[in-house]
Structure 1
């Protein structure tokens, strides 16, 4: 099966214009061989990001889609070009994060088909791949287990301490959690990017603010989980760390001091001890595209995600 990034590379060499449909997973739009937009069934698109945050009404957006598209949207002044560009960047990066690793589908290319936003911005496929790898490494560094990405978000009924400090996105996730919605379902409800919500959920897990997963919930790895996301950081303990030999155990079989005392059970969402010798994961270069200010927007978005 041809990898999706390789397929996009072939379309780029042929300078193709049209839509690459990935079944029910989503669609990738190209103009003259360059990616202009991506839609993913799992993440909110630019339309949802604009309407859910109160930037536009759904009726007004439908009218623009039917008549005038992106040009009319900017002419009417409902959004500045920078605001729209930032929303498109977030939607495309979100979609790429989940679409590019997909395998087992039979993409169908429809020549000439365009997204209603048109070819206003272009994204480099190699840059998108690098940015997705950086994001997966960053998620794994915050919290090494990807199971929280697909399970319902269930906040703890009480605080693990006297107080906590939450970011705006974390607060929205806590308030919006209904014990049933997964992080990506919450992202659509909140009108937040899927990646921003995944970041918030992993940070909540690292802070001990999520309840342990229900043993009855067994999830299989999702297509977007690559080796970079599944690999635990070097400072993480193995799954059977509690069964491993303790440092104070005597090698000849004698009892060490305190050997009869029960071991403290580690919380399923407790971060393992930090290992100062662990090698930090390098961050990949930002996505590039043209116009050239897309690179600047990418750096800005990355900085904002660190604060969210």
Structure 2
């Protein structure tokens, strides 16, 4: 079944089913002709645990009665004087309401219905499915009014060592919770130990938190930002090699050297004709003097 527990129960109630709706290992809902007659939840005290915690019967006595019960173990307990018929009904009522509140709020349990299965205690109370779901919503609202935070619901109960006022007024349930608190047990574990319903214990825990009588858990530290490794600075680009400057155009073609400045005096070489010319020039200058 892929539906929620509430939707599946509504469908089974409409069919008038009798049997057990198992929600994995979390718990079981027992129905009789379309009405809920018993609910068990792994996180809440069962009828057997409530009876043993109260001292009415030992765990061995419960085990023996359960093994010998054919169809109605509750009647066997009543005949043995363990409790009265009214006490049995109230015990079943409290355990069923307690288990329903926590079981119906679970998300995604694997549901499986077994037709004809019955609880070993028998049938001693009936709940219409719509009324049971309405009661669960009423209890949720009551819990939120006491303290609108679930931060302590599954944490160990840790009383404060010093109170901030001279007088504190506690209910009987709050007093039992404070006495049983050992800084390690959660509200559900305390409920099983002292024989209280898990819901009543949780309400007391939230009321104690609202009165600043419990140590609240430290807020979880914010995740540290991931530090990226420092990036290496990109090396500065080497200056581009300067291009060779274009040679000034001289009007010469490639392969020709630059023009030499023209001399004022006539150029001479080692040729004998040039030597004779120089001698004649010298003689002429001397004649003018």
TM-score above 0.5, yes or no:
yes
Corresponding residue for 1:143? 147
Q: CA deviation at 1:128?
A: 1.1
Q: Does the aligned pair in 1 maintain the 2:74–2:88 contact within 8 Å? A: no
Q: CA deviation at 1:147?
A: 1.2
Deviations 1:201-235 (A, max 9, x none): 111111110112123499xxxxxxxxxxxxxxxxx
Runs of 5+ in structure 1 lacking a partner?
219-308
Corresponding residue for 1:230? none
Deviations 1:161-210 (A, max 9, x none): 11212222111211211112111111111111001101111111111101
Corresponding residue for 1:56? 57
Write the mapping of 1:38-57 to structure 2, written as runs, cut at 5 A.
38-57=39-58
Write the mapping of 1:1-308 to structure 2, written as runs, cut at 5 A.
1-68=2-69, 69-216=73-220
Query: Matched residue of 1:156: which SS?
Result: coil
Instruction: Give the number of the structure whose alpha-carbon radius of gyration is greater.
Output: 2
Paired with 2:210 and 2:184, the residues of 1 have a C-alpha distance of 20
Higher relative contact order (CA 8 A, sep 6+): 1
Superposition CA RMSD, Å: 1.6
Q: CA deviation at 1:9?
A: 1.6
Query: Matched residue of 2:97: which SS?
Result: helix
Q: Does the aligned pair in 2 maintain the 1:64–1:70 contact within 8 Å? A: no
Query: Matched residue of 1:134: which SS?
Result: helix
Change in Cα spacing, 1:28 to 1:158, as seen in structure 2 (3 Å) is: same
Paired with 1:114 and 1:17, the residues of 2 have a C-alpha distance of 8
Paired with 1:62 and 1:179, the residues of 2 have a C-alpha distance of 32
Q: Does the aligned pair in 1 maintain the 2:13–2:129 contact within 8 Å? A: no
Q: State the TM-score, normalized to the length of structure 2.
A: 0.72
Q: Does the aligned pair in 2 maintain the 1:97–1:132 contact within 8 Å? A: yes
Structure 1 runs (4+) deviating above 2 angstroms are 214-218
Runs of 5+ in structure 2 lacking a partner?
223-289
Query: Matched residue of 1:121: which SS?
Result: coil
Q: CA deviation at 1:102?
A: 2.3
